[in-house]
Amino acid sequence: MAPWLELGEDHTAEGTRRKEWGEKVRRALLMALDPAFPDFMNFTEGRQPLVDAAFLAQAVLRSPVQLWQNLDGQTQAHLAAALRSTRQISPYYNDWVLFSAMVEVLFCKLGLEWDWVRVDLALRVVEGWYLGDGVYGDGPEFHWDYYNSFVIQPFLLEILQTVQPQGVEFRNRYERAGRIASRYAAVQERLIAPDGSYPPLGRSITYRFGAFHLLALLALWNDLPEAVFPAQVRAALTAVIRRQIEAPGTFDDEGWLRVGLVGSQPRLGEPYISVGSCYLCAAGLLPLGLPASHPFWRGPGRPWTSLRIWRSEDVAADVALKS
């Protein structure tokens, strides 16, 4: 929701809803971050709070006005203290190193004291896991899953984007990561079948269309791969979202998501999967942060690559990214 909230209030019905939801989110943060409230969230017990803190930090990074500047001073202090408390959590040697870095990068963005070493270490480690043709390993080994999109590439891009002012080295690394991300996003667009399905591979597939986090982020940033058009991505993501959200059994009687990829499929959920974690699917909604006048929303949808190919259209061949 963060990029959508960041558009702020206007005179449209949607702008009114953004104002309402912005106030709700800030109220929720006040209650979740104040140790005096019974809803104060866990930021220190176990390792999972590091994940939650990183996604919270990422949201604030994406919506600095609505989720930081518009907070009262006490809530700002509570947010910084809560995120800082996660420094005691040691990340696993995989994409989790980016969670620690994301927390520190938010401090950097906000002009607060931040730990450069945690950021530098995470960048060096993940960059060293690059395997070629737009794909990083999630740790030293390759795994067939969507973690390049769930976490690795969106986090890497946003971290590098934020630290670019620290020197030309980081601008060069950001440009390299951008080329890799562009290739991976092009692959993601091609993975969406004509019926809106995609290969159900790897762990955490119950995050549903959150598997297209990176493609959605590049659409939000106006940085889609060459020959992949905004209206094309809108049509493709809409097909994916409708294929999953409209499936019978997707929601329980109170309107909460059930664990599953298409409908209710609890056996697809690993032990770390909960109802709350299923809402990572919302990462696929990042283009909601684009204004209504943007080409992503204007005009009819365009057929995506797989749809065109299976209609027997003659399209350009796929090309790998050279090292």
User: What are the structural domain ranges in the chain?
Assistant: 1-100
Give yes or no for residue 310 having a pLDDT over 90.
yes
Residue 283 pLDDT greater than 90, yes or no: yes
* CA 304 – CA 301 distance, rounded (Å): 9
Output the pLDDT for position 79. 98
* Pair 156, 126: CB distance under 8 Å: yes
What is the pTM assigned to this prediction? 0.97
Q: Which residues pair with 19 in a beta bridge?
A: none
Average pLDDT over residues 194-213: 98
Q: How far apart are alpha carbons 284 and 244 in whole angstroms?
A: 12
Q: Which two tokens stand for residue 26?
A: 């800030």
Residue 90: pLDDT band by 50, 70, 90 thresholds? very high
Mean pLDDT, to the nearest integer, of 205-222? 98
Does residue 169 carry a pLDDT above 90?
A: no
Structure tokens at 231: 């209206």
140 contacts 147 by C-beta, under 8 angstroms: no
Distances (CA, A) of 150 to 131, 161, 232, 319: 17, 18, 21, 24
Q: What average pLDDT does this structure show over 32-61?
A: 97
pLDDT at 165: 87
Q: Quick one: pLDDT at residue 176?
A: 97
> Confidence class of residue 224 from pLDDT cuts 50, 70 and 90?
very high
Q: pLDDT confidence of 230, banded at 50, 70, 90?
A: very high
**CB distance 111 to 166 below 8 Å:** no
Average pLDDT, the chain: 97
- Structure-token pair, residue 71: 């907070």
In this predicted structure, the answer to whether residue 11 has a pLDDT above a threshold of 90 is yes
Backbone angles phi, psi at 131, to 5 degrees: -105, -15
pLDDT of residue 288 exceeding 90: yes
Close Cβ partners of 57 (under 8 Å, ≥ 6 residues apart): 83, 102, 103, 105, 106
Residue 166 has pLDDT above 90, yes or no: no
Q: Could you tell me if residue 176 is left (phi over 0), alpha (psi between -120 and 50 degrees) or otherwise beta?
A: alpha
Collapsing DSSP to helix, strand or coil, 245 comes out as: helix
Q: Which helix (H) or strand (E) holds 15?
A: helix 13-33
In the prediction, which pLDDT does 263 show? 98
d(CA 166, CA 239): 40
Residue type for position 117: V
The confidence score (pLDDT) of residue 299 equals 87
Q: What's the pLDDT score for residue 170?
A: 87
**Could you tell me where the DSSP H helices lie in 63-137?**
64, 73-85, 97-110, 116-127
